[in-house]
Amino acid sequence: MNYERIIENIYNYLPNIIFGFCIYILFWFLSKLIQHTLNNFFKSKNSQNNISKVIASIAKNIIMIIGFITALGTMGIDISAIVAGLGLTGFAFGFAFKDMLSNFISGIMIFIYEHFKLGDTIELDGKTGKVIDINLRYVTLVNDDSQILVPNSLSVSKSLKVKKMPLIKILDGGMGTEIIGQNIKLPNFIWSAHTNIFNPLLIYNIHKKYIDAGADYITTNTFRTTSRAYLKTGLSTNEAKDQALKSLSSALKMAHNARGNTKVKILGSIAPLEDCYSPKNYPGNKDAEIEISEISKWLFEREIDIFILETMNNLQEILSCLKVISKYNIPVWLSLNLSDKQHILSGEKISKIIESISKYNVDKLLLNCNSINQTSLAMPLISKHWSGEWGIYPNLGTGKPSSDGVIKKFSSYKDFLEICIKAVSMGATLLGGCCGSNENHIQLLSEKFK
C-alpha cells in the first residue's frame, strides 16, 4: 500500500474537505436564521402557529439540503447525479401529488394574505359556514347542519363572500392567586384587598405583566374592598368604611399607573357582597342596594371605564346591582358563576338570567371562575340565548373552586387554549383567565388571537 500517496491525497483534499464542512455549517446557521425569521413573520400575519412551524421547518430543510449538496461539491465529489436524481424525483412527486401540492401552496397563500380568519363566516362554492380551522390542506367550516372540509385550492381560485368576525379582545388573568403565588397568606374576609394597602407595588406589577402580555382590559383588585368585608375583621362601622375606601383607592391608583398612556381599559370589579360561592348568604335587596351604591360611587369617581359584575351567583343580587349602576353613563358587563351547564349557583337558569336582565343595558355577558369543563358545557347555551358579545375567563383549577383561592391541581395550558379556541368558534369575542391563570396564559391568547 502506497502510504505516501494516501497522505499526499489527504493533504491535497484536506482544504476542500475543511472548506466543505465550513460551508455546511454556514448553511446550517442560515437555515436556523430563516426558520426563526419565517416563524416571526407568520406569527405577525396569522394566528395559526402550527402552520407557521411547518412552513418554517420546510424552508429550513430545503436550505440544509442545498447546503449539503454545495458542501459535497466543494469537497470534490461529483454531485451531478445527485442533482439529476433530485430533479427526477421532484418531477415524479409533483405529478403524482399535484392536487396535494396545489392545496399546500394555496394554504400558504391563505396564510400570508389572510382573506379570512378563524371565526369569520364565508360563502364559497355554494357552501356557507363559520371558519373553525385552517391547515395546509383544508379550510374547515361549520354550520347548523354539518362540518365541511373545503380544499384550499378552491378557497384561492373561486370567488367567496366573507363576513368578518368581531375582533377578539383579551382580558387579564388571576389576581388573588398571583398574590398567593408570592407566598403571601391572604387574610379572611378581605382577601386580596389587604394587599392594596400593604403591598400596592405588587398589584401594580401584576397589572403591568398582563398589559405587557397583551391584555386589552385589566380588572381592578376590588373584589373585597367593601365596608361589609372589613366590618367582619372586627373594625367599627366607620373604621371599616375608611379601610375599604383606602384599599379601593389604592387599587384604582395602581391600575391607572399600570395602564399609563396605553389604550388598555380598566374594568371596575364588583363581586357578590358575601362569599362568591354562597348565594344563599345574599343580604337582601335593601342592604345590597345601599352597599352597591357606595362601591359603585367610589369606582365611578376614580374613573373606571367599565363596570364588571363578576362571579355573580344570585339573580336578585344581579338585578340589585344593575338597578343601582344603571344611572352611570358607562358600559356594564355581567359575568356568571355556575352550578352546572344550565344554572348559576343560586339555581336560576342561565336563560332566565338573560331574560331578566334584558331591561338593563348589559353590554357583554361572560362566564368566570368556572372550571374549564363546566365552562365548555355552558358555552352553547350562552351562544344560543345571548345576542350580544360574550366571553369567558375560566378558573384553571380542576373541580370546584375553593373559597380561599388555593389551587392544588391546575388545568394545562393546552386545555386552556383549546377551550378558548372552542369559545371563539362559537362566537366569543372576549377571552381571559380567572384564578390560577398568569401572564403566560394571556401571552398565549395574545399570540393566538391578535
The neighbour count for residue 261, using CB atoms within 10 Å, is 5
Q: Identify the segments of the chain with pLDDT beneath 70.
A: 1-13, 42-54, 78-79, 81-114, 136, 144, 155-157, 165, 401-405
The amino acid present at 168, given as its one-letter code, is I
Shared fold status for 3-96 and 111-163: no
pLDDT attached to residue 88: 56
pLDDT attached to residue 120: 79
CATH number for domain 169-449, candidates 3.40.220.10, 3.20.20.330, 3.40.50.300, 3.20.20.80 = 3.20.20.330
pLDDT attached to residue 327: 94
| Domain 3-96 in CATH 1.10.287.1260 | yes
Sheet holding 306-312, edge to edge: 169-170, 430-431, 389-393, 362-368, 332-336, 306-312, 265-270, 217-219
pLDDT attached to residue 51: 60
pLDDT attached to residue 108: 67
Domain ranges across the chain:
3-96, 111-163, 169-449
Buried b (16+ CB within 10 A) or exposed e, 90-105: eeeeeeeeeeeebbbe
Please provide the average confidence, as pLDDT, over all residues in the chain. Answer: 86
The class (CATH top level) of 111-163 is mainly beta
CA 165, distance to chain mean position in Å, is 16
pLDDT attached to residue 215: 98
Q: What is the pLDDT of residues 378-407, one digit of tens each?
A: 999 998 899 899 999 999 988 776 666 677
